[in-house]
């Protein structure tokens, strides 16, 4: 007969599953986000919305590295993620936000001549929401507005609606920081943001392997 100490809680399958590493797409998304923000949005002074617009405006006004502002802005949203989704989601959101910010900072050290607007703008429309959709497709976020979108989606609010509403903040800041041309192009990119996110998210969920949901905080062992 094996004696079990009732004072020691034995690990459960849920506890083990909660410690699993995110899938490969989680790590790839951080690189995609850094490259898109540095070589497209920063170089052309056009924001696709979300936390990137806030970060670009703060970078313009202070001259501090864009990678630093990206991390600071996302940190302000992490409390909301922790309150709603628990420590596990907070951990990987911090990892994603940190990785992206470091990669953005390193990319800023690379000399780069801005692409013509006729090239940069369509690329922003096409690729700006690929990283966040890649994260959302496996149940994670980068700590930006996608965190709020992920939370509200579980409550039945479409991600397209969430992104469109939150982008108003980025739009105002881009107008104030960079002027009418950048503001107008940012407006066009933000109007397309909801559709872009929905398209990428639909494609990823349809053609990439589905990730089993993580245990919810407070679930019975």
Phi, psi of 48 (to 5 degrees): -90, 5
CA terminus-to-terminus distance, the chain: 24
Closest CA to 74 of 94, 103, 59, 92: 94
pLDDT band for position 142 (cuts 50, 70, 90): confident
pLDDT at 84: 62
pLDDT at 145 over 90: no
Specify the residue for token string 């800041």.
173
More confident position, 94 or 164? 94
Half-sphere exposure of 92 (CA within 13 A, CB side): 22
Q: How sure is the predictor about 89, in pLDDT bands with cuts at 50, 70 and 90?
A: low
Residue 142 tokens, joined:
């980068």
Q: Residue 213 has what pLDDT?
A: 53
Comparison of pLDDT for 34 and 50, the residue scoring more: 34
Position 4 confidence tier, pLDDT thresholds 50, 70, 90: very low
pLDDT higher than 50, residue 216:
no
CB neighbourhood size of 156 (10 A):
6
Q: Give pLDDT tens digits for 164-187.
A: 777 888 899 999 999 999 999 999
Q: Between 93 and 215, whose confidence is greater?
A: 93
Tell me the Cα Rg of the chain.
19
**Across 106-115, average pLDDT:** 91
Instruction: Look at residue 86 in the predicted model and tell me its pLDDT.
Output: 57
Residue 107 is predicted with a pLDDT of 94
Tokens of 203: 């494609």
In this prediction, residue 211 has a pLDDT band, given cuts at 50, 70 and 90, of low
Q: Position of tokens 């056009």?
A: 46
Closest residue by Cα to residue 129 from 181, 174, 189: 189
List of residues 6+ apart from 7 with CB closer than 8 A: none
Under DSSP, the state recorded for 8 is S
> Mean per-residue pLDDT for 182-199?
89
Q: In this predicted structure, what is the pLDDT of residue 210?
A: 74
Report yes or no: 182 and 188 within 8 Å, Cβ to Cβ. Answer: no
**Shortest CA distance to 101 belongs to which of 139, 142, 150, 132?**
142
Question: What CA–CA distance (Å, rounded) separates 107 from 41?
Answer: 13
57-84 pLDDT per residue, tens: 999 999 999 999 999 988 887 776 676 6
Helix count and strand count (H, E) for the chain? 11, 0
Q: How confident is the model at residue 148 (pLDDT cuts 50, 70, 90)?
A: confident
Average per-residue pLDDT for the chain:
81
* Average of per-residue pLDDT across 145-158: 77
Write down the pTM of the prediction: 0.77
Q: How far is the C-alpha of 90 from the C-alpha of 81, rounded, in Å?
A: 6
Q: How far is CA 95 from the centre of its chain?
A: 11
């Amino acid at each position: 007969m094996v004696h079990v100490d009732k004072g020691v809680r034995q690990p459960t399958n849920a506890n083990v599953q909660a410690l699993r590493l995110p899938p490969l797409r989680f790590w790839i998304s951080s690189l995609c986000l850094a490259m898109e923000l540095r070589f497209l949005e920063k170089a052309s002074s056009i924001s696709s919305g979300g936390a990137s617009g806030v970060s670009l405006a703060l970078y313009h006004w202070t001259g501090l590295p864009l990678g630093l502002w990206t991390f600071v802005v996302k940190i302000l949203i992490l409390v909301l993620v922790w309150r709603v989704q628990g420590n596990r989601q907070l951990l990987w959101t911090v990892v994603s936000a940190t990785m992206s910010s470091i990669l953005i900072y390193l990319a800023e050290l690379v000399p780069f001549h801005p692409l013509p607007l006729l090239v940069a703008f369509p690329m922003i429309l096409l690729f700006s929401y690929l990283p966040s959709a890649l994260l959302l497709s496996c149940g994670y976020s980068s700590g930006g507005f996608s965190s709020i979108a992920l939370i509200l989606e579980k409550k039945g609010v479409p991600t397209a609606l969430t992104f469109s509403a939150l982008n108003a903040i980025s739009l105002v800041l881009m107008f104030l920081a960079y002027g009418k041309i950048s503001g107008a192009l940012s407006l066009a990119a933000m109007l397309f943001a909801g559709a872009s996110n929905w398209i990428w998210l639909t494609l990823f969920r349809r053609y990439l392997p589905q990730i089993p949901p993580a245990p919810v905080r407070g679930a019975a062992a």
